[in-house]
Structure 1
Amino acid sequence: MSVEPKLTRFKQNVLSKYQIYNSIFMTLPFDAITKTGVLLPLFHETCEKGFKKGDDPTTIVDTFFEKYQGRRSKESQINLLFRFIQYIERQVVLFDAIEDVAFPVVNNMEGIGTLRNLKESANSENKLEELKKYLEEFKVRIVLTAHPTQFYPGSVLGIITDLTKAIKENNLSEINNLFGQLGKTPFFKHKKPTPYDEAKSLIWYLENVFYKSFGEIYNYIQQNIYDDGKKHNEIINIGFWPGGDRDGNPFVKPDTTLKVAKKLKQSIIKKYYEDVKYLRRKLTFRGVEDRIIKLETILYSYSINLKAEEKISSKELIKELLSIRNIVVTEHQSLYVGELNNLINRIHLFGYYFATLDIRQDSRIHHDVFTTVIDHLIETGNSSFPNNYHDLSEEEQIEILSKANDNIADLDVFEDEMVNNTLKTIAAIKDIQKANGEKGANRYIISNNQTALNVMQLFAMLKIVAFKDALTVDVVPLFETITDLENAPEVMEQLYTNPEYMAHLKARGSKQTIMLGFSDGTKDGGYLMANWGIFKAKELLTEMSRKYDITAIFFDGRGGPPARGGGKTHQFYSSLGPTIEDKEVQLTIQGQTISSNFGTLDSSKYNLEQLITSGLFNSFGKNKSAMSPDDKAVMNDLAETSYQTYKDFKSHPMFIPYLERMSTLKYYAKTNIGSRPSKRSKSDKLIFSDLRAIPFVGSWSQLKQNVPGFYGVGTALKAYEDRGEFDKVEQLYNNSKFFKTLLENSMMSLTKSFFDLTKYMSKDEEFGDFWNIIYEEYITTKRLLLKLTGYEALMENEPSGKASIEVRESIVLPLLTIQQYALKKIQELQKAEVKDEEQIKIFEKIVTRSLFGNINASRNSA
């Protein structure tokens, strides 16, 4: 059977279906304003023609009103713009649902990068035993974060799920009803979610997607690769940040953490109860049925009330199921033993914790908290800390911290809220481990980690507060800025040469997890330098760790779009080569990347398998060549040039004013999408270092300029072209899969740029020159990437991915136009002698509401 090319499959299964369903959708009356569905295509056409002609957004909107809406009042025209926003948001949902349904058809579920393919190639190369050995050690951990790049409230996520099912079944009447429901359901949140709300919305994915997909992947490996029914390395596990991530989020309190851990435990027991209930209908045999009924009863009451009289531990649960399996095998011809194994495997994967809750806090907060704690201990008089502790050198302080064995009897002696919360969070970790098992919460991440002292302060604090006997928590430094990445190997050597810290690592399996922050790295150093800085840091950290017989586990804060370190994630991991430790792949997944890459059973399985095989790809002898010294020199030079270019751009006097006044930056705080503030400090003045990566990257994306995904790349390539040495870059491109992957991700950022939208800014007295600097870099980067790859057009090698982006960009074009129109109106109203505050409010509301659809539409960013 011949398989159609991927682009053809995309056109048939996504594009054609979208056009059909969209035409039905456009005829539905949702509101008092008639003809919205008729007028939107006309407005869309006006936008397309207008930008081709070189018109600015204001002219385009005015032209439309004059031509089609001349008799309407100003108020009525504004209402129509709000209706357009509503419609477009829902068109994005429709496209998402259709793309989700088509996922297994458009993507080859048994092709390259899938487990079936990996097994077949291992078989044909006589490497099955080698593969088994790797799978016994290798792990993939995806960590769900609550970083707000997903704007759908829970009610809309439910509709998307139902709509996906109805489209799959071609159920027209149900689709019609769901369109109606979609039209009536608000997309925006009236108030910010709490951290607990964020946790609940992500637990939905754990229950409805990951519980199934993880189980199926593990079952496949057990049955088809090992083929022995035994318990093996779990291979995939899941981390969880909502409720534990305190970095810059004052709303995450110790009781939030405990509440989320409790919810995770209840959710997983409920899933086991559902499975046992299903098994009860199958295992109706003598000697088995009574035991299954008993289990069902216990699990039911336990899932509702964790303090129930009759409860069962995860160990006892597995033991009972194994005993039942034994009877089924010996006395009942192994009937339904497969279903029993599936449940046993899931308990092996998820225990009673479901997902490991990570705790994260900023090193600067720790420092302040720790200073208070030490002062208190010194005051009490019987402390291992000398009175002159604060005057000692860093080395001397580390020495004292490594041996600290003080005790704080009552944490409430600390009245300062931050100190009290930080210490009680440490105590909460201990409580969670007692209730959910050690894996319930056993990692503490220090963001903005700069020194070995930062690590040792937390190391001592964990022991002083809760872990006197044995420290069952991994301390994970997070290196984010370019400088911190450069210093990271030295910091780790300081820790590895500390006998007490080293003894702790040995007790934890001689592994050290090190987190590297892509998004803040990109914000700080630009696209090429951030990625290269992390690559070099990983090489040096691998070397340093191996020197001390420690396995480095790299945990990547990769985010979603390329500008946040995302892009084609599995390609990135399979491109790293032998000089970087690769026993585990760990990365954060957030916002719309969760729903786009893991939102359905098909996409979740496919992308998890791609991650598993990409990590193994390095080890499996396919990619053993390291970068040559010549290529490394070119890569380094390109990164340095682009870094300098980006730094000059960042220090341009118009950089902050442009973001503040010409972009949507300040509107992110008004969207009520996430529980944490959009910047770290409380000052009114915008300081670059306080800026969160999400609003920073998002603002460039809303302008359709995508600066963090390409800025500096063009200038770096041009330097080689000007020197007549472009062949060196071509050689690097042909030799290095890592460099190639970076540039392909950069191409995605360029494909999503649309400078015609903001071309009017080039004539702005204040910002014209600055806009032109960005545009020049865009043109240079695009030209040289095409020259380097030999492509006629960007993303030529990924026609279906490009087609998806083009449809999404086309859907939101009117939305972007409306947003720019509103921003321009706000600027004009601000400059007026008498400010019309009411009008300003209305246009600000338009800007904020149009943020949602734009962000949700860019889900194919990873």
Structure 2
Amino acid sequence: MNLSATINLIGNLLGATIREQESPQLFHLVEQIRQLAKARRADSDRAPDQLAMQVAALTPDVARVIASAFTVYFDLVNLIEETYRVHTLRERERERHPEPAPESIADAIAMLAARGITRAQMQNLLAALNVELVLTAHPTEAKRRTVLSKLERIAHITRVLDDGDLLPRERAELEMNLRAEIAALWLTERTRTTRPKVEDEVRTGLYVVENVFWDTLPRVYAELDAALAKHFPGLSASPRWLTLASWVGGDRDGNPNVTMTVTAETLRLHRGLAIEHHRRALQDLARRLSMSAHLVPMPRDLQSWLEARHPLPPHAAYLEARYTSEPYRLIASILSADLAHASRDDMTARLLETTPHTARITLEQLTTPLEMIERALPPRIARDHLQTLARQLHIFGLHAARLDLREDASRLVSALAEVLRALGTDLTFAQKDETARLATLARLFAQARPALARHPGITVETAETWALFQLIARVQAVYGRALLGPFIISMAHSPADVLTVLLLARWAECDAGLSIVPLFETLADLQAAPQILSDLFALDVYRDHLTSCGNAQMVMIGYSDGNKDGGYLAANWELYRAQDQVARVCAAHNTKLTIFHGRGGTVARGGGPANRAIRAQPPGTVQGRLRVTQQGETIASNYASPDLAHRHIEQIVHAVLLASAPERDATAQHEWSAAMAIMSAAARDEYRALVHATPGFAEFWRSATPIDEINRLRIGSRPTSRRGGGLRIENVRAIPWVFSWMQSRFNLPGWYGLGSGLARADKNLMGAMYRDWAFFRALIDNAEMSLLKADMEIAARYVDLVSDRALAQKIFAQIQNEYACARDAILAITGHAELMDADPVIQRSIKTRNPYVDPLNYLQVETLRRLRALPDPESAPAEELREVIVLTINGIAAGLRNTG
């Protein structure tokens, strides 16, 4: 595939569309602006002012066309680059054959074998292996599903065009189809007319499960089996070592739209998808299992199973009469009919009622007869569709993806406090300090379960929280524990927060086996995490609960709020230290630890290459177990196609296997840790001095970024701020915080404080740390990309929007100085002449994109200036300007390949 030629084709077709659908004059204006942006990047003295004047002269209608032109261009270019990535991956694999591709599962197993890992060590690693990818609805995911579907059709056409065997007339017809699809994309509204509902986000997530993960995950399983057969014959992992979970429809934290009814409906949609896919697979399998019982005799256990199923459903009885000697076909048809019957179960209603009910089918009722068939058939036949179906049944079960439940600790404490007041048990629980709350909880655990009404809370919020625990109990009783993932407590600050959940779960009779996961997010909570766990493990009531959970504890760490709290360097160091110390606490208490990483797409929120990030974790913290969020933005890039999804997943598994190897490098040298502590403190102080201690900084942020307009976007079901706290720094969520700084090209959360921190360490020592310590190398490499994506000249234009000029100049001078310090320090540590010299592909991509992103920034600044000058911010002219701003937000996000 010729990348340049394909991009040129797409660009020419887009240009033709603009000429046809708008006018040749508007297309010429787009070209003028593009050329001025390129001249600006080529250090033309006059180009910046000329570009600004050109943009200032645009009417809102024309500005909308210009913004659309660059935004659609980036959507199309991103699409082509993703297609090219797949092409390149396939070429590399072909060239290396029979050697495994780098960062593949086969590569990891071969490396472990070459290192001399024993069979016993490998079996222990495989026994522990458990990787779970957790899908979330990104609150700033900026594309409509309608737009995504059109882009998928365009991608399909470009892939077909790459076929060298096309006839001239076929190529001409495809190019006509491509032009029509681009025209349709141009004429489609890019922004939603209404904010999506939670159910819409659930369906979007399940679309990815159905169209990407369903066939990709079994392929990954097959590759691990093949690699083990070559290097460690006879060894295997569990049938569920790689699975999916989701937060969409179960994440209540700050989202009042996620109710018990929504969660019940989400579970129905999950189960419905799994049942329908398995039903179709069994139907297809029935057509393939035409083996005669005369040639492949049916084992006795399978005969008994079939006899016990009589009388048969009508269609199965028909098949039995027609295909008298084909029992394998018959059994698959019976199972397909069972699933069809199960699909008619009104699951949502069943979950919301209290009358006794039993699920119409269980997973074991499917897997047991299929395992009998697999043993009966010749291995070559069983290895094909039957084995794939068996894998899909184990991976996806009857729930597609486990649904996690998450709620804020303060909401849970308030709910329990209200219940206690309603019961007359304790009137001041929420106001008590930690010691007093623990004492109250200990007393309540020792007492009998109180007689609770269905909704004992005083407020609607408390009734909803209590209803959630009742729903958990109902799901477990009717459909089993497999449907639900852990219960995650966001902003967990103490052992009492964890015990509050355990008590509510015990009262609802759903505590046994329920994994309760504290989420540590702020710097203070990350520092306190080891002691919180140690205190929990010392309590008999919690140790008993862990026993019901297989003596396993999951701990979630957040990469976002710590960054907003103390900056990039301090957050990353505290995350590293917390993982190391939490692992030590769990080891001391003989408890299996799984660290759940709440990573986002941007560097500021834990983004960066997944393989590098996993291998940079502290030794002893992975141990074969990894749970990590896959947020909306990263889903759109890493799982855009089955091939890209496969590559991303195999890189994750490759890293988990190597990071879990028994001979992995020891903990970081004491000298390195001491240096990191000093650098982290200096970086944190610099960051907090700017963001949290500078008078007027919140005003600067509100004025020099489009945060107010981001807050209005109809791109997610969840509000921008926690607990309705408005757009104050302490209340705004980390995702829109990062998004706003990325849009204005400061990219502040991805690097600020780094320069001051790195200035506190010896250069030679940092050089050794960069060379020999994976954590420090990942820290520097990720920051290097953040710095390259930042642009102080573009940021200066946003600074001009701040009305307090003295404040603006003071703060911006501080930011510029810190940027220069960070850039110079990183270049010194890496030995690079320019940022990202070590990765010329990414470096070239960013530099090539900049001239196309810059016009969108110029447009955004000009439109923000006009909007803020209007006397009525809710007038029709204001809405007209906001339409342009939203287009620029979409375009900049697509151009930088980052939202929040």
Fold-level similarity (TM above 0.5): yes
1:118 lines up with 2:108 in the alignment: yes
1:493-504 alignment, distance < 5 Å: 493-504=534-545
Per the TM alignment, residue 614 of structure 1 is displaced from its structure 2 partner at its CA by 0.9
Task: Describe the SS at the equivalent of 1:505.
Answer: helix
Contact 1:352–1:436, Cα closer than 8 Å, also in 2: no
1:664 lines up with 2:706 in the alignment: yes
Contact 1:27–1:38, Cα closer than 8 Å, also in 2: no
Alpha carbons of structure 1 residues 620 and 284: separation in structure 2 relative to 1, 3 Å: same
| 417-426 or 156-165, which deviates more | 156-165
Residue in 2 that maps onto 1:88: 70
Residue in 2 that maps onto 1:290: 330
Per the TM alignment, residue 152 of structure 1 is displaced from its structure 2 partner at its CA by 1.4
| 800-809 or 245-254, which deviates more | 800-809
Residue in 2 that maps onto 1:350: 396
CA shift digits 1:566-619 (9 cap, x unpaired): 112220111224243533111111122011112211111111111112122122
Alpha carbons of structure 1 residues 57 and 506: separation in structure 2 relative to 1, 3 Å: farther
| 738-747 or 34-43, which deviates more | 34-43
Paired with 2:397 and 2:633, the residues of 1 have a C-alpha distance of 27
Paired with 2:235 and 2:281, the residues of 1 have a C-alpha distance of 19
User: 1:232 pairs with 238, 258, 261, which one?
Assistant: 238
Residue in 1 that maps onto 2:772: 735
Per the TM alignment, residue 393 of structure 1 is displaced from its structure 2 partner at its CA by 2.0
Per the TM alignment, residue 269 of structure 1 is displaced from its structure 2 partner at its CA by 1.1
Task: Describe the SS at the equivalent of 1:599.
Answer: coil
Task: Describe the SS at the equivalent of 2:708.
Answer: helix
1:135 is aligned with what amino acid?
L
2:110 is aligned with what amino acid?
E
Residue in 2 that maps onto 1:41: 31
Per the TM alignment, residue 50 of structure 1 is displaced from its structure 2 partner at its CA by 4.3
CA shift digits 1:797-853 (9 cap, x unpaired): 1122223333443432221221111122234446xxx99955444323322231122
Paired with 1:186 and 1:405, the residues of 2 have a C-alpha distance of 59
Contact 1:246–1:361, Cα closer than 8 Å, also in 2: yes
User: 2:690 pairs with 634, 638, 649, which one?
Assistant: 649
Per the TM alignment, residue 735 of structure 1 is displaced from its structure 2 partner at its CA by 2.4
Paired with 2:714 and 2:697, the residues of 1 have a C-alpha distance of 26
Residue in 2 that maps onto 1:407: 450
CA shift digits 1:181-203 (9 cap, x unpaired): 21222211011111111111011
Alpha carbons of structure 1 residues 396 and 836: separation in structure 2 relative to 1, 3 Å: closer
1:446-461 alignment, distance < 5 Å: 446-461=489-504
Per the TM alignment, residue 57 of structure 1 is displaced from its structure 2 partner at its CA by 7.0
Per the TM alignment, residue 352 of structure 1 is displaced from its structure 2 partner at its CA by 0.9
User: 1:193 pairs with 193, 196, 199, which one?
Assistant: 196
2:193 is aligned with what amino acid?
H
Per the TM alignment, residue 638 of structure 1 is displaced from its structure 2 partner at its CA by 0.9
Paired with 1:704 and 1:608, the residues of 2 have a C-alpha distance of 31
Residue in 2 that maps onto 1:207: 210
Residue in 2 that maps onto 1:98: 80
Contact 1:26–1:38, Cα closer than 8 Å, also in 2: no
Residue in 2 that maps onto 1:520: 561
Per the TM alignment, residue 532 of structure 1 is displaced from its structure 2 partner at its CA by 0.5
User: 1:154 pairs with 145, 148, 165, which one?
Assistant: 145
1:680 lines up with 2:722 in the alignment: yes
Contact 2:33–2:54, Cα closer than 8 Å, also in 1: no
CA shift digits 1:702-753 (9 cap, x unpaired): 0111010100111122234xxxx32222222222110010110001111111
Residue in 2 that maps onto 1:607: 648
Task: Describe the SS at the equivalent of 2:327.
Answer: coil
Per the TM alignment, residue 774 of structure 1 is displaced from its structure 2 partner at its CA by 1.1
Alpha carbons of structure 1 residues 195 and 387: separation in structure 2 relative to 1, 3 Å: closer
Contact 1:57–1:821, Cα closer than 8 Å, also in 2: no
Task: Describe the SS at the equivalent of 1:587.
Answer: strand
Residue in 1 that maps onto 2:730: 689
1:659 is aligned with what amino acid?
W
State the aligned residue count: 824
Please list every run of 5 or more consecutive structure 1 residues that lacks an aligned counterpart in the other structure: 1-11, 67-73, 380-384
Contact 1:57–1:820, Cα closer than 8 Å, also in 2: no
Contact 2:569–2:684, Cα closer than 8 Å, also in 1: yes
CA shift digits 1:83-132 (9 cap, x unpaired): 12222222222122212212233344542210121233344445472434
Residue in 1 that maps onto 2:21: 31
1:366-765 alignment, distance < 5 Å: 366-378=412-424, 393-467=436-510, 471-621=512-662, 623-650=664-691, 651-684=693-726, 686-720=727-761, 725-760=762-797, 764-765=805-806
Task: Describe the SS at the equivalent of 2:597.
Answer: strand
Contact 2:422–2:456, Cα closer than 8 Å, also in 1: no
Alpha carbons of structure 1 residues 435 and 229: separation in structure 2 relative to 1, 3 Å: farther
1:18 lines up with 2:7 in the alignment: yes
1:702-851 alignment, distance < 5 Å: 702-720=743-761, 725-760=762-797, 764-829=805-870, 837-851=875-889
Per the TM alignment, residue 508 of structure 1 is displaced from its structure 2 partner at its CA by 0.8
Residue in 2 that maps onto 1:71: none
Alpha carbons of structure 1 residues 404 and 613: separation in structure 2 relative to 1, 3 Å: farther
Task: Describe the SS at the equivalent of 2:560.
Answer: helix
Contact 1:515–1:556, Cα closer than 8 Å, also in 2: yes
Task: Describe the SS at the equivalent of 1:794.
Answer: coil
Contact 2:108–2:658, Cα closer than 8 Å, also in 1: no
1:604 is aligned with what amino acid?
A
Contact 1:47–1:817, Cα closer than 8 Å, also in 2: no
Alpha carbons of structure 1 residues 228 and 264: separation in structure 2 relative to 1, 3 Å: farther
Alpha carbons of structure 1 residues 100 and 693: separation in structure 2 relative to 1, 3 Å: same
Task: Describe the SS at the equivalent of 1:516.
Answer: strand
2:508 is aligned with what amino acid?
V
Paired with 1:607 and 1:205, the residues of 2 have a C-alpha distance of 14
Residue in 2 that maps onto 1:6: none
CA shift digits 1:227-269 (9 cap, x unpaired): 6697724221112111110111111100100000110000011
1:25 is aligned with what amino acid?
L
2:365 is aligned with what amino acid?
E
Please list every run of 5 or more consecutive structure 2 residues that lacks an aligned counterpart in the other structure: 94-99, 162-173, 292-325, 351-357
Equivalent pairs: percent with the same residue?
22
Residue in 2 that maps onto 1:855: 893
Alpha carbons of structure 1 residues 406 and 828: separation in structure 2 relative to 1, 3 Å: same
Paired with 1:564 and 1:338, the residues of 2 have a C-alpha distance of 41
Alpha carbons of structure 1 residues 849 and 746: separation in structure 2 relative to 1, 3 Å: same
Alpha carbons of structure 1 residues 465 and 489: separation in structure 2 relative to 1, 3 Å: same
Task: Describe the SS at the equivalent of 2:853.
Answer: helix
Task: Describe the SS at the equivalent of 2:563.
Answer: helix
Alpha carbons of structure 1 residues 552 and 310: separation in structure 2 relative to 1, 3 Å: closer
Contact 1:136–1:233, Cα closer than 8 Å, also in 2: no
Contact 2:286–2:330, Cα closer than 8 Å, also in 1: no
Paired with 1:406 and 1:732, the residues of 2 have a C-alpha distance of 55
Residue in 2 that maps onto 1:4: none
Per the TM alignment, residue 378 of structure 1 is displaced from its structure 2 partner at its CA by 2.7
Paired with 2:899 and 2:888, the residues of 1 have a C-alpha distance of 19
Residue in 1 that maps onto 2:250: 244
2:10 is aligned with what amino acid?
Y
Paired with 2:633 and 2:725, the residues of 1 have a C-alpha distance of 30
| 116-125 or 597-606, which deviates more | 116-125
CA shift digits 1:446-497 (9 cap, x unpaired): 1111011111111101111232xx5231111111111111111111111100
Paired with 1:230 and 1:790, the residues of 2 have a C-alpha distance of 44
1:134 lines up with 2:134 in the alignment: no
Task: Describe the SS at the equivalent of 2:723.
Answer: coil
| 617-626 or 835-844, which deviates more | 835-844
Alpha carbons of structure 1 residues 762 and 336: separation in structure 2 relative to 1, 3 Å: closer
Residue in 1 that maps onto 2:308: none
Per the TM alignment, residue 773 of structure 1 is displaced from its structure 2 partner at its CA by 1.2
Alpha carbons of structure 1 residues 636 and 553: separation in structure 2 relative to 1, 3 Å: same
